[in-house]
Structure 1
Amino acid sequence: DLVLSLKESLKPQKNYVFYCQSCGDIIVKDRKFLRVLPLPSENWSALVEEWCCHPDPFARSTLHPRHDDCFLGDTFFLLNSGIESHLPKSPIVICKRCKTMLGETVSSDVIKYYVTEVIIRPSEGSFSPTPRSQFVQSMVAQCLVELSSAKSTFRFTIKGNDGKICILIWLLNSDTLLVESLGSSFSHGVFTQFGDIFMPTSGPVGTWNAVKVLYQPCIKSRNKE
Structure 2
Amino acid sequence: AGMAGAFLMEIRRGTQSALLVFRAVAELPSAPMEVSVFADSLEVRSGGSSDAAALPAGVRLAPSSCRGLRRLRGDGLHLRVRLHSPPPSADVVFTLRESLKPNKNYIFYCQSCGDIVVKDRKFLRVLPLPSENWSDLVEEWCCHPDPFARSTLHPQHGDCFLGDTFFLLNLGNDSHVAESPKSKENTRVICKRCKTMLGETVSSDTIKYYVTEVIIQPSEGSFSPTPRSQFVQSVVAQCLLELSSAKSTFRFTIKGDNGKIYILIWLLNSDTLLVESLGSSSSHSDFTLFGDIPMPSSGPVGTWNAVKVLYQPCIKSRNNELADAWENDMGVHPLKFPSETCLELLLILGWSTTSLPPSLRCMNSFQVRNSFY
Equivalent pair of 1:178/1:208 in contact (CA under 8 Å) = yes
Higher helix share goes to which structure? 2
Look up the SS of the partner of 1:55 in the other structure: coil
Equivalent pair of 2:166/2:211 in contact (CA under 8 Å) = yes
Look up the SS of the partner of 2:241 in the other structure: helix
Distance in structure 1 (CA, Å) of the matches to 2:223 and 2:276:
27
Could you report, residue by residue, the CA deviation over 1:75-129 in whole angstroms, capped at 9, with x for unpaired residues?
0000011011387342110100000000000000000000000000000111110
- Displacement of 1:180: 3.1
Is 2:249 the partner of 1:153? yes
Equivalent pair of 1:3/1:138 in contact (CA under 8 Å) = no
TM-score by length of 1: 0.87
Distance in structure 2 (CA, Å) of the matches to 1:130 and 1:4:
16
Task: Tell me which amino acid in the other structure corresponds to 2:108.
Answer: F
Distance in structure 2 (CA, Å) of the matches to 1:223 and 1:181:
35
Distance in structure 2 (CA, Å) of the matches to 1:208 and 1:174:
12
My pick for the range that moved more, 41-50 or 117-126, is: 41-50
- Displacement of 1:51: 1.1
Task: Tell me which amino acid in the other structure corresponds to 1:117.
Answer: E
Is 2:132 the partner of 1:36? no
Partner of 1:194 in structure 2?
A: none
Alignment of 1:1-225 (within 5 A): 4-85=94-175, 88=180, 89=182, 90-181=186-277, 185=279, 203=299, 205-225=301-321
Q: Cα RMSD (Å) of the superposition?
A: 2.1
TM-score by length of 2: 0.53
Partner of 1:195 in structure 2?
A: none
- Displacement of 1:59: 0.8
- Displacement of 1:204: 5.7
Task: Tell me which amino acid in the other structure corresponds to 1:166.
Answer: Y
Look up the SS of the partner of 1:70 in the other structure: strand
- Displacement of 1:205: 4.2
Look up the SS of the partner of 1:61 in the other structure: coil
For structure 2, the residue ranges without an aligned partner over 5 or more in a row are 1-91, 282-297, 322-373
Task: Tell me which amino acid in the other structure corresponds to 1:12.
Answer: P
For structure 1, the residue ranges without an aligned partner over 5 or more in a row are 190-201
Task: Tell me which amino acid in the other structure corresponds to 1:132.
Answer: R
My pick for the range that moved more, 203-212 or 118-127, is: 203-212
Distance in structure 2 (CA, Å) of the matches to 1:55 and 1:14:
40
Distance in structure 2 (CA, Å) of the matches to 1:224 and 1:203:
45
- Displacement of 1:164: 1.5
Equivalent pair of 2:157/2:172 in contact (CA under 8 Å) = yes
- Displacement of 1:203: 4.0
> % of aligned pairs identical?
86
Distance in structure 2 (CA, Å) of the matches to 1:35 and 1:219:
39
Distance in structure 1 (CA, Å) of the matches to 2:199 and 2:299:
43
- Displacement of 1:66: 0.9
Could you report, residue by residue, the CA deviation over 1:108-163 in whole angstroms, capped at 9, with x for unpaired residues?
00000000000000001111100000000001000011111111111010111221
Q: How many residues get paired?
A: 209
Question: Greater CA radius of gyration, 1 or 2?
Answer: 2
